[in-house]
Chains A and B, each alone.
Chain A
Amino acid sequence: MALARGFADPVHDAQGAFRAMLDALARPGLVQALPAALAPPAPLTSELAAIALALADADAPVWLDGPLAEAPEVEEFLRFHTGARLVADPAEAAFALVADPEACPDFSAFAQGSPAYPDRSTTLVLAVRHLAAGEGLAFEGPGIRGRVRLGVAPLPAGFAARWSANHALFPRGIDLLLAAPGRVAGLPRTARLLEA
């Protein structure tokens, strides 16, 4: 099978995807449009592919979760279009692509950053089916005007406890990008999950 193509317009498509991610992490819980007209090999979604192509390269290693790592076409696609190293150890990854969020490894398995360099932590990109503002989990924190609600499904098992543990590590900790078809939302480590 021929290799699926990358961005039709690499400069502007990458910029568009990046600005959506920047807005997503700067305004946690708000859903941003992420136009992604890619047709990557399954189970890699168009949005996960757009995020990887926009940000991953030889300096930013990528970790793939089980379903993605088992698909050789996905590996071939990412290697060709990004040149990024695909790492087996999640603690080495700048970006982790997760096609099956429910089976996502514990957040502590990924790079957490150090007290002196908290920026050296993994950004997890979860492919979710449902993403809607104004419902579901409530968050407060920098970038959030008052309080925000974000409905996400599926989420990693035991998400509330795992996210609170991650938040408590601040300034260390992982950051989350949640990518549904055509949309993306962000949860930086600063987002504090409120009791239901």
Chain B
Amino acid sequence: MKVEVDDVVLPGDFSEEIDTAGEKGKVILGPGLRKEIDKVYITKAGVLRKRAPNTFWVDSYQKRYVPSRGENVIGFVVQKSGDIFRVDVGSSCPATLSYLSFENATKKNRPEVQVGDVLYAKMLVASKDMEPEIVCVDSHGKKGRLGVLNEGFVFKCSLNLVRKILNPSCPLLESIKNEWPFELAAGMNGRIWIKANTMRETIAVGNAILASEYLSDDEIKNMCTNIASILAGHVS
């Protein structure tokens, strides 16, 4: 079926807008789109989006993570073998992490990473034919915010929820960050790590995030003030 931008699309649909844009210049195809011999076809169900000038993608619902380059993910170390760590990032195959890809790590100075640790890392290699590789440093050799996440609490959610709360227009983090202090790391693989001063506050952050999946912006703001007042009421 022929579809337009901002329409609901199903796999097998096509958009003439993409084809005509492709004749004029370069087009960037995001997730959910695939070029075949004659046309560009849609491969995922969701909403077709466009960003000027020529970027197209499909906003779709997904829970299983498929690695893609440059994304920040949260993983668990499952194995230490020789000079690499194997890290479970939720994809079909565990990612590898060299012990040299930490800040200030040398052959003599090994990073302190144990099996079972939670890591915040960046996807360096993500190809369908190769094992994914992650690193805990940027290209300048600095760790930035990457590395082992100590203490805190990790929970899983859908990939859409992570994208939603990281969207600058989402009011969730804006409204709860001033209510009580907490730390948060969101991995694009559908895992979120949170750390607050008390157990109650940690649960409050977690519940606020999970509840915001199916709420509109105004409802999120309401919910956040509710949670904050409940929390304040019991603490005092």
Partners in one complex: no
Interface residues of A, Cβ cutoff 8 Å to B: none
